[in-house]
Structure 1
Amino acid sequence: MPVVILCGGRGTRLKEETEWRPKPMVKIGDRPILWHIMKLYASWGFTDFILCLGYKGEMIKDYFLNYDLKQCDIRLDLGSKRVEKLSEGHQEDNWTISLIDTGQDTATGGRLKIASKYIKQDTFLFTYGDGVANVDIGKLVKYHRQKQKWATVTAVRPSSRYGELAIADGIAEAFSEKPQTNEGWINGGFFVLNRKVFDLIDDEQTNWENEPLQRLAQMGQLATYQHDGFWQCMDTYREMEILNELWERDRAPWRRWE
């Protein structure tokens, strides 16, 4: 079952970083957030990736084309250009990655439609290249199969726009920066889809979040997998800082690999 990841948006709300690189290449620790997302799926056994490229997509291509050599010690013969690996540098030998140019200004649904010709299976996984979570992908897939709908979306609790104070007798007992709320559910990505959804995408300017998802809901073909655990997107500079702080403190909930 392949994992399709949207990697083509411009990420204008994170322009401090995305002026120079595509948002999926913005780092958490010393690795791009895209790598973290792929490692999450790989930890559940899903290692066949289809990356929908767009804005500065050549940087993502270069990253993976040179991935093997960047992760290990090498000896280079400048005359013959022969490269010899001196060490084993990574654990991703079983990954396969299709790097698909889906256009500079294509909408999210349009990118999925363009990538559809590389998706041979009836069921596939689909997500955004800018968010991490501790979603149990195995349970998500099982839930999708039980519901037998065209699509399953992972529903998550949104984060508050403001820091939250816990107060007792006029004294603050705790402060939480942008905690998750208990008010409603939002689209957290991490979809499981049947290829029938391609029929709901009209053209390259179709936003996946608009008509396709709305029509699936109207048809009764959109199951929701409710995830009460950790979820965080990287839309702003502050959210990038939050994710990096969690990683640096070894408190990243999405990390389930060694």
Structure 2
Amino acid sequence: MKTWERALVTPDMTLREALGCIDRAGSQMALVVDERRRLLGTLSDGDARRGLLGGLSLADKVSAAMHLNPTVANARESRHAILATMRQRGLHQIPVLDDEGIVVGMEVVDDFLTARERENWVVIMAGGLGTRLAQLTRDTPKPMLRVGSRPLLETIVMGYAAQGFRRFYFAVNYKAEQIEQHFGDGRAFGVEVRYLHEEQRLGTAGPLSLLPERPSHPIVVTNADLLTKEDFGEMVDGHMASGADATMAVRDYEMQVPFGVVRERDGYIEAIDEKPVQRYTVSAGIYVLAPHVLDLVPRDTQFDMPALFEASARQGLRARCHRIEGYWLDIGRLPDYERANLEFDEVFR
């Protein structure tokens, strides 16, 4: 909501004035704040109506009718988390506060339903052999394996398209004809699809050298075996706001050692950690790259994303992390594929 500041009112304003603010803001609620813009409460159309029915007049103060304990969101929450709260509570809009309780915005559910169109290209690395799923990928490329009611790659494209991304490049190699036959030029899916044909497998970054022209905006690069509910637009916006040259989506990964780990010194036991959990930050297989970073990708050479980020570091470029907190699944092994099918209807319905 771009006009949320028009919805700010003070507790000493009259109900008539507050309702005027709600009308001008085009919202269904006013945010009642103090002189520092700390949230004191909210006043909805319903709050005002109930107050008037209870004997208040339009000349009475907002403080007499406002709701003192509204549901709020923290500015550090992802938009997906905020939307989940709104759905759970049946809210149309929600104030967004910083850690001091100061209003910094207001999210409206309609803004989630109408994504603005994005000029950023999406490059999907769809040329791999899927060797870890050999029994399934003998006749079908992994991106075309059906997960739930449709091919995996179709769900990925639909996720980006729903967030306003329209131009896609598919890097293809293994059984590319199946992918091209299904997607064509993308028109049937409301997007534009072009193909980067790998004559030899070029890794997870090498196909970027096949782009026919240098983009004008940062591009999103993703593997074709990921199911996630991430807000890709938020990732792009964070990349641009930070001034970084490259952004890598990362997530937490835990491994539990199934034994007691012995800490010893000079042959004597100091302590035993029983089945400790090791925690790591790992790549989530999604990236945002500034156009000039593509100059570091060699032509006709197998080149992976870790090598590109290392090359960027050697050039003094800045790379940042974007942490994924929500649903994410890498379909690399048969148990992952089975899990994806079990969870698909609940997560992507």
Q: TM-score, normalised by structure 1?
A: 0.74
Q: Which residue of 2 aligns with 1:71?
A: none
Listed as ranges, the gaps of 5+ residues in structure 2 are 1-119, 259-276
Which shows bigger deviation, 192-201 or 152-161?
152-161
Number of corresponding residues: 211
Contact 2:245 2:317 survives alignment (8 Å): no
Q: Which residue of 1 aligns with 2:300?
A: 204
Q: Cα deviations across residues 166-201 of structure 1 (Å, max 9, x unaligned)? A: xxxxxxxxxxxxxxx881211112211112112221
Give the direction of change, closer, same or farther, for the CA distance of 1:121–1:157 in structure 2 (3 Å limit).
same
Give the direction of change, closer, same or farther, for the CA distance of 1:63–1:224 in structure 2 (3 Å limit).
same
- How far, CA to CA, are the matches of 1:154 and 1:186 in structure 2? 9
Listed as ranges, the gaps of 5+ residues in structure 1 are 69-89, 164-180
What is the 5 A alignment of 1:75-90?
none
- How far, CA to CA, are the matches of 1:159 and 1:23 in structure 2? 26
Deviation at 1:138, TM superposition (A): 2.0
Amino acid at match of 1:41: Y
Q: Which has the higher contact order (CA 8 A, sep 6+)?
A: 1
The structure 2 residue matched to 1:241, chosen from 325, 338, 341, is 338
2:158 equivalent to 1:61:
no
Q: Secondary structure at the match of 1:4?
A: strand
Contact 2:206 2:297 survives alignment (8 Å): yes
What is the 5 A alignment of 1:81-120?
92=189, 94-114=190-210, 116-120=211-215
Q: Which residue of 1 aligns with 2:320?
A: 223
What is the 5 A alignment of 1:7-22?
7-22=126-141
What is the 5 A alignment of 1:124-203?
124-158=219-253, 160=255, 183-203=279-299
Contact 1:157 1:182 survives alignment (8 Å): no
Q: Which residue of 1 aligns with 2:145?
A: 26
Give the direction of change, closer, same or farther, for the CA distance of 1:161–1:213 in structure 2 (3 Å limit).
farther
The structure 1 residue matched to 2:329, chosen from 221, 227, 232, is 232
Deviation at 1:97, TM superposition (A): 0.7
Q: Cα deviations across residues 67-98 of structure 1 (Å, max 9, x unaligned)? A: 88xxxxxxxxxxxxxxxxxxxxx7x3x21111
Q: Cα deviations across residues 126-177 of structure 1 (Å, max 9, x unaligned)? A: 11111011211121111101111111111112365899xxxxxxxxxxxxxx
Contact 1:107 1:204 survives alignment (8 Å): no
- How far, CA to CA, are the matches of 2:228 and 2:134 in structure 1? 23
4+ long deviations beyond 6 Å: none
- How far, CA to CA, are the matches of 1:67 and 1:122 in structure 2? 21
Q: Secondary structure at the match of 1:14?
A: helix
Q: Percent identity?
A: 25
Give the direction of change, closer, same or farther, for the CA distance of 1:182–1:147 in structure 2 (3 Å limit).
farther
Query: In angstroms, what is the RMSD of aligned CA positions?
Result: 2.5
Deviation at 1:118, TM superposition (A): 4.4
Q: TM-score, normalised by structure 2?
A: 0.56
Q: Secondary structure at the match of 1:117?
A: coil
Amino acid at match of 2:133: L
What is the 5 A alignment of 1:34-49?
34-49=153-168
- How far, CA to CA, are the matches of 2:327 and 2:278 in structure 1? 13
- How far, CA to CA, are the matches of 1:23 and 1:161 in structure 2? 29
